[in-house]
Amino acid sequence: MHAIGVDLGGTKTAAGVVSDKGEVLFSETIPTLHRDGGDAILGATARLIAGLTRRAAAAGILVEHVGVGSAGVIDARNGEVVSATDAILGWAGTAITAGLAARLNLPPASIRTVNDVHAHALGEAWTGAADGTASSLLVAFGTGVGGSFVLDGKPVLGHRYVGGHVGHFASPYAFHNGQPLPCVCGGSGHLEAVASGPAIPEAYRRLGGEAHSPDARGVFALAANGDAVAIRTINTAAAAAGQAVGGLANILDPEVVVVSGGLTDAGDSWWLPMARAVRTELLPALTGLPLLPASRGNAAAIIGAARLVLTDALTLQRT
């Protein structure tokens, strides 16, 4: 059996044909029409899926099921976007499953949709860093901060499907001059405001860095060249990330923790202070907890999304 897995994010949408062993046979990527509204995004995504379906058919592979991992709070039962940030304008309220089913002439039951970080975690739990474990906690630090707790092969979605939004709890690091930093969710003092990729250049400027400071990649480059403000900025962001990961591990007691996202690509300058902060935060009983980098890269969410329809990965862990 084969399925198409879709990773629908704020800047790009990737999809691939995935086997029942978790192998991505071929994939394609298109820009997400994140300023054109839900209908335009669904139309472009349906064309992407249809193209992959034809490509699979030419190779003698029948594909009749689609799994989608999407940005936003996703009602996985109905495949609808409950809420979303302005990273994708007009995305809230979009009926992903029904919209794709109509455009692809597929029964709605053949399409399943979940939040993209849950899909990412499923991919790592199936064929990645957490393969073979009974439970895993994945936390991703990139454009935003998200997470997922996978238990017995199923992501814990939460009663209202908000489970995994770990960027939106309070962090003692998310303050400047005694004031909580604003968060994209409309709150303040949250982890995402200090530990995400976009938070790094903002913090660099706040701490007295160059007026026309670079993006996060540029701040890491400055730190590598000995810029004291850049080094302090990265250490703070990493410490906030690690404290949060350690605290979540204390609550959930996973078999393994997987850390992913764009910031992990920075290497030791971010990973080492993050890992130290995790170990500092952990309870003594968790001293030996494995802390691993994600291993499937950008393919993880495609694989995990396909897993939604290749197995029954959503039925047991809603609450």
The 10s digit of each residue's pLDDT in 164-202 is 999 999 999 999 999 999 998 899 999 999 999 999 999
Residue percentage of the chain with pLDDT more than 90:
92
Q: What is the DSSP string of 224-284?
A: HTT-HHHHHHHHHHHHHHHHHHHHHHHHH--SEEEEESGGGGGTHHHHHHHHHHHHHHS-G
In this structure, of 40-49, 156-165, 308-317, the range with the lowest mean pLDDT score is: 308-317
Residue percentage of the chain with pLDDT more than 70:
97
Task: State yes or no: pLDDT of 313 exceeds 60.
Answer: no
Quick check: helix, strand or coil at residue 182? Answer: strand
Task: State yes or no: pLDDT of 316 exceeds 70.
Answer: no
Q: What is 133-293's CATH topology?
A: Nucleotidyltransferase; domain 5 (3.30.420)
Q: Taking the complete model, does pTM exceed 0.95, yes or no?
A: no
Q: What is the pLDDT of residues 90-121, one digit of tens each?
A: 999 999 999 999 999 999 999 999 999 999 99
Q: What is the pLDDT of residue 138?
A: 98
Q: Report which of 279, 201, 275, 206 is spatially closest to residue 238, judged by C-alpha positions.
A: 275
Same fold, 2-122 and 133-293: yes
Task: State yes or no: pLDDT of 318 exceeds 70.
Answer: no
Are 295 and 136 a contacting pair, CB within 8 Å? Answer: no
Reported confidence tier of residue 85, pLDDT bands at 50, 70, 90: confident
Structure tokens at 218: 């540029």
What CA–CA distances, in Å, run from 219 to 24, 136, 231, 265?
Answer: 34, 31, 8, 13
The torsion defined by the Cα of 275, 280, 282 and 286, in degrees rounded to 10, comes to: 80
Q: What is the pLDDT of residues 192-249, one digit of tens each?
A: 999 999 999 999 999 999 767 689 999 999 999 999 999 999 999 999 999 999 999 9
| Residue type at position 259 | V
Task: State yes or no: pLDDT of 315 exceeds 60.
Answer: no
Q: Does domain 2-122 have CATH number 3.30.420.40?
A: yes
Q: What is the pLDDT of residue 319?
A: 47
Residue 139: beta bridge partners? 147, 259
Reported confidence tier of residue 314, pLDDT bands at 50, 70, 90: low
> How many whole angstroms separate alpha carbon 56 and alpha carbon 318?
33
Q: What is the pLDDT of residues 272-307, one digit of tens each?
A: 999 999 999 999 999 999 999 999 999 999 999 999
Q: To which residue do tokens 């692809």 refer? A: 104
Q: Mean pLDDT, to the nearest integer, of 120-149?
A: 97
Q: What is the pLDDT of residues 5-27, one digit of tens each?
A: 999 998 999 999 999 999 999 99
Domain residue limits, the chain = 2-122, 133-293
Q: What is the pLDDT of residues 145-162, one digit of tens each?
A: 999 999 999 999 999 999
Task: State yes or no: pLDDT of 76 exceeds 90.
Answer: yes
Q: State the chain's mean pLDDT as an integer.
A: 95
Q: To which residue do tokens 């770990």 refer? A: 166
Structure tokens at 128: 């990645």
